[in-house]
Amino acid sequence: MPGTPPTRYVYLGPEGTFAEQALRTVPAAERGSRTPARSVGEALESVRAGEADAALVPMENSIGGAVGVTLDELAEGDPLVITREVILPVEFVLGARPGTDPAGVRSVAAHPQASTQCRNWLRAHLPDATVVDVLSNGAAAAGAANGEYDAAICAPIGAARHRLTLLADKIADHPDAVTRFALLSRPGPPPPPTGDDLTSLAVYIAHDRVGALLSVLMELAVRGVNLTRIESRPTGEALGRYVFFLDCTGHVADVRLGEALQGLRRVCAEVRFLGSYPRHRWADAAGDRPVPAPAGLSDTDYTDAAAWLARLRSGELS
């Protein structure tokens, strides 16, 4: 039923990874079931098939950039919509079995992205250790727990899940790194506007039209819609053919964003609506305010202008 909170959640597994840690920040997910999936595609397909109500998958990382497989699924698969974003600080730890002597660590299990983000720390503190690539942060923690490796670079939740002792915490070279996750559901009415929302789109431009991408950007700019992210991915049709992923401030229920969407529909080959949802709010949000609309481009301005035009059409000139 519309408005019913999801109860069956799936996330990019395995257990003990940042995806599970991110999902557990969603209050409803703490009360529902949480099932790991082997891949982004498997997680999303379980929602499309009705086997789960919502899936949490990574969208982008502040160090590694966009997660291409997620964007491709959103652009090419059966439609799903984002209902929530979760931004999680990426805080890697070094865990080992209880009683492990840090000086005796000779092998460290790590996902390649994890070891890359901790390269300088490893060079400074474990220069003689061999780093072994594994499939996930959860697999690294499991490998250290069963004695296959001396230690593991993993998420805090993975160390806790496998009862590892922390030999070091916050070992990432970029302490401010974050990963953005999206909670996706089958199409339905979006969450109501909060006044601080994002709308995500996948836009296919007309490749035989000069200035096609500029036309897309102008539809947003002339209405004061702030573009917060643009990312391109190849469509697979031919070299040079791309789909553009846009995140912009506002909600589909907002007048000015609604007009911008109508404009995009007119000038683009195709527009796929990926959802309107509340923007992630940090605990300390003092400097994290929504960007105000320029003078003359607020929803109130649009409402006033529409009312004025209606009066003109009815014969009133005041």
CATH number of residue 118's parent domain = 3.40.190.10
pLDDT for the residue numbered 240: 62
The model's confidence at residue 118, banded by pLDDT at 50, 70 and 90, is very high
- Tens digit of pLDDT for each residue in 216-261? 889 898 888 889 999 988 877 766 678 899 999 999 999 889 999 9
Kindly state whether residue 39 falls inside one of the protein's structural domains. Answer: yes
Residue 311: which residues within 8 A CB-CB, separation 6 or more? 317, 318
**What tokens does 266 get?**
């007119």
Q: How many domains does the chain have?
A: 3
Kindly state whether residue 162 falls inside one of the protein's structural domains. Answer: no
- Tens digit of pLDDT for each residue in 151-161? 999 999 999 98
43 plus 143 within the same structural domain: no
DSSP 126: -
- Tens digit of pLDDT for each residue in 31-85? 889 999 989 999 999 999 999 999 999 999 888 788 888 999 999 889 999 999 9
Q: Name 273's bridge partners.
A: 201
Choose one of 188, 207, 236: the last residue of a domain.
188
Model pTM score: 0.81
Crossing angle of helices 299-313/255-267, nearest 10°? 80
The model's confidence at residue 124, banded by pLDDT at 50, 70 and 90, is very high
Kindly state whether residue 168 falls inside one of the protein's structural domains. Answer: no
Q: How far is CA 1 from the centre of its chain?
A: 25
Task: Judge whether residue 215 has pLDDT over 90.
Answer: no
Residue 65: which residues within 8 A CB-CB, separation 6 or more? none
114 plus 48 within the same structural domain: no
44 plus 183 within the same structural domain: yes
Kindly state whether residue 280 falls inside one of the protein's structural domains. Answer: yes
**Counting every residue, how long is the chain?**
318
* One-letter-per-residue 3-state SS of 156-172: HHHHHHCCCEEEEECCC
Which of 163-167, 192-196, 210-214 is predicted with the least confidence, judged by mean pLDDT? 210-214
Domain range for residue 72?
A: 1-90+177-188
**What tokens does 284 get?**
């300390």
Please give the span between the terminal C-alpha atoms of the chain, in angstroms, as a whole number.
Answer: 46
pLDDT for the residue numbered 317: 79
Q: What angle do CA 310, 314, 318 make, to 5 degrees?
A: 75
Average pLDDT value over all residues in the chain? 87
Query: 94 φ, ψ to 5°?
Result: -105, 115
DSSP secondary structure string for all residues of 75-119: HHSS--EEEEEEEEE---EEEE-TT--GGG--EEEE-HHHHHHTH
Instruction: Check residues 110 and 209 and name the one with the higher pLDDT.
Output: 110
300 plus 197 within the same structural domain: yes
Neighbours of 295 (CB within 10 A): 8
pLDDT for the residue numbered 291: 63
Task: Judge whether residue 133 has pLDDT over 60.
Answer: yes
pLDDT for the residue numbered 94: 94
Instruction: Check residues 186 and 211 and name the one with the higher pLDDT.
Output: 186
